[in-house]
Amino acid sequence: MSSRRSRSRQSSSSRITDEQINDLVSKLQALLPEAGIRSNERVSAASVLQDTCNYIRSLHQEANDLSERLSELLATTDASSAQAAIIRSLLM
DSSP class per residue in 27-84: HHHHHSTTHHHHTTS---HHHHHHHHHHHHHHHHHHHHHHHHHHHHHHHTS-TTSHHH
- Return d(Cα 51, Cα 25) in angstroms, integer: 11
Contacts of 38 (CB under 8 A, 6+ apart): 29
- Per domain, the residue ranges of the chain are 2-91
| Tens-level pLDDT at each residue, the chain (92 residues) | 555 555 555 555 689 999 999 999 999 999 999 755 555 677 899 999 999 999 999 999 999 999 999 889 888 888 888 988 898 888 88
